[in-house]
Structure 1
């Protein structure tokens, strides 16, 4: 059974620039909450995690990814400005029809979506994808702050009240699938999507507290209590990952082109933080092991490559399985 956070049935009519994506027919992820395990998860072994991580590479001073509410106002503006810097830079030409450098990332995600969703490669590929986004902002837009993540479990059912979705930062979320006209990304025209098509449309959202109210820390703990990677990854993709996309709605319901809404990065940093915490529960095994299959049924192992199609070098999973390894060298505030 394949996981899907949204099934977009858009019909043949094209959208004009400035129009919102029509409301999609959403197929709920096939992971009923009552089927999640109820046993108590093993606590994170902080000391063991640090020792094991330090042994895997030369990462001696990892960047600490800061939760949004602990981010200073100055840092928040620097982050938003770096995103808009990418949106103002020309596209590389490697990912047509991307209209700017930021859309190179969106187009890459759209192209690889069938390969990196609904299978065990989901978490590890998106881990590297978020790091690549950060690396591009640092190298091309001078971003020199910690990358933020957003603790959705602390905002259960009340996304609209967060400063994330304020007019000062990312603009409103509860706008009934209409175009975002306030905030740092107001009146954005997107060229990648909807789904596998590419034509101009606006950045839309449709906040839904029915989904966000299920994004609890207890849910994350239940998912992370699965001891086997492939099982944990299956439930991670189909529960808190999916509920976040559905809870913000609009462009976020589009599995292919969801990075078109910059909220995507806060969300996937949250997903990656939950994965890193799962690894920290048993670092001696989980920092050196992966299982499950790719979309073609081939088994994953540490020598399987994660591809970025020229945006950044392709890497074997062993290079990115540990966030405190030599390649990635970051950690989370908590």
Structure 2
């Protein structure tokens, strides 16, 4: 089966989107941005009520909660400190078993390898959202515990820049930004099957305006040690590119994907999903796939996409949208599950439950179950989005 792009591919899982009670606002007269901001405020109000009701000695309360914020609102000093910590993970030695990932060199590669290893389970499946929530939490802990970072993983607020994503503050060219597009290199559209996904199952991406190495910003000419996978053109004995020589970080911006999926309208439609099955069925169809498609290059390869440091801001935004959706009806939605445990249910797999195991290697904290991740203010978690 051939499909037009990753968003369309994963949209095959999409369910209809029933309406859900919205904040008290005149929807017909509200702009998409206003409607989104109203839902963000409702989420904050609801979560803060819960935090305020928690005892002062509770594991998570209004005094201890961490706040993940947009990259846009961080001060220059805060941006530089976050980048310093990320660069630290790109200098510390890898802990992964080299028989599994011979090309892994630095601690950041451990996250890329884990993501590659679990892509066919933790994507286009019911465990995508909880698996990535735990993955992000472990990454944040590593920044703080291994690299002395004092803050929290920010998010890429792409709705603000949907008309021209290249103007987003995260893409600034100086030492306090992640750099912009890759060098312009003529290249064709891509069309490639996914390794180990029964099908065959293809994804296609239209060529963007870059394609070459990123030469600006704090991660200019960053060495990427694992992958690429899709498109990878790897040998039969190394389909995931874990033995490849290093290559430079690449990007290939394509504004068309931003115009389509990185908008307030898309986010609002997602947030109006009636239940978890609808929400997880819509996240790729409406937003997630388009973010990777916009980036192109290493950020498009959703196996090895953590190679681009922007990945973690991208997925902080995805987790933010899930958190807002949950917070609009926290009591009902923190126990909802849906979907199966494999990519597009290929091969057929069990339905997810709160006991479904989310696989992570011991060097990234080990396995947890779905239920462990169901709320950002319970269990090990204690964070909100502002």
TM-score, normalized by the shorter chain, greater than 0.5? yes
What's the counterpart of residue 192 of structure 2?
none
Partner Cα separation in structure 2 for residue 143 and residue 149 of structure 1: 16
- Contact kept, 8 Å, 2:275 with 2:333, in 1: the verdict is no
Per-residue displacement from partner, 1:138-169 (whole Å, max 9, x unpaired)? 11000101321121111103121122111111
Q: Which runs of 5+ in 2 are unaligned?
A: 24-38, 184-209, 230-239, 343-347
Per-residue displacement from partner, 1:54-96 (whole Å, max 9, x unpaired)? 6697211210001111111101010111010000011113362
1:192 to 2:226 alignment: yes
Pairing of 1:111-122 with structure 2 (within 5 A): 111-122=117-128
- Contact kept, 8 Å, 1:323 with 1:331, in 2: the verdict is yes
- Contact kept, 8 Å, 1:4 with 1:238, in 2: the verdict is no
Partner Cα separation in structure 1 for residue 101 and residue 182 of structure 2: 32
Kindly tell me: are residues 293 and 3 of structure 1, through their superposed partners in 2, closer, same or farther at Cα, counting changes over 3 Å? farther
What's the counterpart of residue 73 of structure 2?
70
What's the counterpart of residue 173 of structure 1?
181
Query: What's the CA shift for 1:48?
Result: 3.6
Kindly tell me: are residues 294 and 149 of structure 1, through their superposed partners in 2, closer, same or farther at Cα, counting changes over 3 Å? same
Q: For the aligned residues, what is the CA RMSD? A: 2.5
Matched residue of 2:136: which SS?
helix
What's the counterpart of residue 203 of structure 1?
249
Pairing of 1:2-81 with structure 2 (within 5 A): 6=6, 28-29=8-9, 31=11, 37=17, 39=19, 42-43=22-23, 44=39, 45-46=42-43, 47-52=45-50, 58-60=59-61, 61-81=64-84
1:147 to 2:142 alignment: no
Per-residue displacement from partner, 1:153-198 (whole Å, max 9, x unpaired)? 1110312112211111111126411101121111122111111123
Kindly tell me: are residues 3 and 304 of structure 1, through their superposed partners in 2, closer, same or farther at Cα, counting changes over 3 Å? farther
The size of the alignment, in residue pairs, is 312
TM-score (norm 1): 0.86
TM-score (norm 2): 0.75
Query: What's the CA shift for 1:4?
Result: 9.8
Partner Cα separation in structure 2 for residue 224 and residue 79 of structure 1: 29
Pairing of 1:1-334 with structure 2 (within 5 A): 6=6, 28-29=8-9, 31=11, 37=17, 39=19, 42-43=22-23, 44=39, 45-46=42-43, 47-52=45-50, 58-60=59-61, 61-94=64-97, 96-97=101-102, 98-168=104-174, 169-173=177-181, 175=183, 176-195=210-229, 196-198=240-242, 199=244, 200-214=246-260, 215-295=262-342, 296-310=348-362, 311-333=364-386
What's the counterpart of residue 16 of structure 1?
none
Structure 1 residue ranges (4+ consecutive) displaced by more than 2 angstroms after TM superposition: 1-6, 27-32, 34-58, 93-97
Kindly tell me: are residues 30 and 301 of structure 1, through their superposed partners in 2, closer, same or farther at Cα, counting changes over 3 Å? closer
Partner Cα separation in structure 1 for residue 76 and residue 134 of structure 2: 27
Partner Cα separation in structure 1 for residue 66 and residue 4 of structure 2: 32
Query: What's the CA shift for 1:276?
Result: 0.4
Query: What's the CA shift for 1:317?
Result: 1.7
Partner Cα separation in structure 1 for residue 353 and residue 142 of structure 2: 27
Q: Which runs of 5+ in 1 are unaligned?
A: 7-26
